Structure 1
Amino acid sequence: MGKNLQSTERPKLRPVDLAREHGLSTQAVRNYEEAGILPAAARSPHGYRGYTPLHAGALRAFLALLPGHGHPTATAIMRAVNEGAAEEAFRLIDESHAQLLEDRRTLRAVESALRDLDLGSPATPEPGGTFIGPLARRLGIRPATLRAWEDAGLVQPRRDPRTGYRVYDEAAVRDARLAHQLRRGGYPLERIAPLIAHVRTAGGLAPLEAALTEWHGRLSARGRAMLAGAAELDGYLRARG
């Protein structure tokens, strides 16, 4: 299908012609073709690639998909389209939109969790507390993850003086919940630790407002980028016929 379409295209473009439009190297363009992001190019008797406006459209579509979907998914989308598997490409796009929606829900959950916390007063330890296994199951993570969060300063369980087991009181459970939500939101451990430290000591949500605003901005940018990517991909699909 790709070769028939290419034969109808009049202008022949060199790799450098595609590369210059986007500030890429010619090797990057060749790599994109080898990865299936661009359809296979016709070759001259001397082995030189001859690209067409169809290839230029494929490159524009891929680069437009990147900010909203990420490199692996954008690559898979373009490869599926070039292989004639448009339904698979649409499924991948749907999955990205579903993930964006889930990330928005995660952000709302973080904001809700923060609002529900009584940050104005220090947490009072509960008489009992919970152990690492039950807490890990409640959060849907491994006990090793909680231990890693402890090493990073995200949670501070106390030790049972008799058994030496970790015991998570109300404050430690709160910190674990916040760490879990922020990790799901894409925050690295080194950025979560100071946020939780602020929660422990600041007595308000103000220190977290900038992070939450940035998070909102990232999600909005992804949504806008998905729209731009969809427009370019639709143009490429129309060009393929």
Structure 2
Amino acid sequence: MKSQTAAHHRPVDLAREHGISTQAVRNYERDGVLPAAERTASGYRVYTGLHAAALRAYLALVPAYGYGLAAEIMRAATRGDVDAALRAVDGGHAQLLRDRETLDAVEATVAVLTSVPTGTRPERPLTVGALAHRIGVTPATLRKWERAGVLAPARDRGSRQRRYDADDVRDAELAHLLRRGGYLLDHIATVIRQVRAAEGPGPLAASLDGWRQRLTARGRAMLVASGRLADYLEAAGL
């Protein structure tokens, strides 16, 4: 790591730049997201321009990648392991891409589901055979979807047979649409969880714009964070 020629900084100087406490700055150093600071003869920490660059990078990484991954990236960077830092960055970008694909899948199917008349939903729970016949798959396929987390039917207390209610039927129809579109089961399971969390495709459709806006904000934050991380790596001579 090359020596820093910039003026020295006190912990309060770094804290004021970002509106955080001096204790937070010390905690970041303790946790390894900032390089270890030198001490004066009286024991006071002395930070440099390198520490300021590291703090800017870390605080930019947090909204882009979350606290855990941001800390992983900076710990790797402060110990000089650039490959590990960039590998963690790549993982964050890959996750964002998966999230975008999930959103695309939901947008491509939720309009179809919301256009299905509610009267077509079964009034009584269906057996695995009845549901399989309804959507044109085999009972074995439905059981496979269940193992993958796509479906979660209740069981009859006496016979222990699967019973698919109206929400289960909706989830199975959505899964069938996505499978025909070439999506993998783990991807479909993620979509189904989004539908369940929104309590149906109708409320989910209303939330899609907000979901996309959050993904866009994350992507933009990643661009800012990449610049701050690059600044730190350059300052550290890495």
- What is the TM-score with the length of structure 2 in the denominator? 0.77
Offset from partner CA, 1:16-39 (integer Å, 9 cap, x none): 110111111111100100111100
Task: Return closer, same or farther for 1:45/1:114 CA change in 2, 3 Å cut-off.
Answer: same
- Aligned partner of 2:19 in structure 1 is 23
Aligned equivalent of 1:96: 92
Closer, same or farther in 2 for the Cα pair 1:68/1:10, shift >3 Å? closer
Within a 5 Å distance, the mapping from 1:131-150 to structure 2 comes to 135=142, 137-138=144-145, 141=148, 146=152
Structure 2 residue 66 is matched with structure 1 residue 107: no
**TM alignment of 1:1-241, pairs within 5 A:** 1=1, 5=3, 8-117=4-113, 118-125=115-122, 128-129=130-131, 135=142, 137-138=144-145, 141=148, 146=152, 163-168=159-164, 172-175=168-171, 180-182=189-191, 191-193=197-199, 196=200, 199=201, 205=202, 207-241=203-237
State how far apart, in whole Å, the 2-side matches of 1:171 and 1:128 are: 15
**Equivalent residue pairs, number:** 213
Q: Which amino acid aligns with 1:93?
A: V
When the two chains are superposed, the root-mean-square deviation of aligned CA atoms in Å is 3.1
- Cα distance, 1:11 vs structure 2: 1.4
Q: 1:139 to 1:214 in 2, by over 3 A?
A: farther
Deviation at 1:114, TM superposition (A): 1.1
SS of the aligned residue for 2:50 comes to helix
Task: Give the Å deviation of 1:48.
Answer: 0.7
1:110 Cα offset (Å):
1.2
TM-superposition CA deviations, 1:120-142 (whole Å, max 9, x none): 34334467126999646315545
Amino acid at match of 1:192: A
Cα distance in 1 between the residues matched to 2:157 and 2:204: 35
Q: 2:42 aligns to what SS in structure 1?
A: coil
TM-score (norm 1): 0.76
Inter-partner Cα distance in structure 1 for 2:66 and 2:229: 15
Q: CA deviation at 1:236?
A: 1.0
Give me the whole-angstrom Cα distance separating, in 1, the residues matched to 2:75 and 2:157. Answer: 59
Identical positions, percent: 45
Is the CA contact 1:139–1:180 (under 8 Å) kept in the aligned structure 2? no
The one-character-per-residue Cα deviations of 1:23-79 (angstroms, maximum 9, x if unpaired) are 111111001001111001001111110001110110000001111111111101111
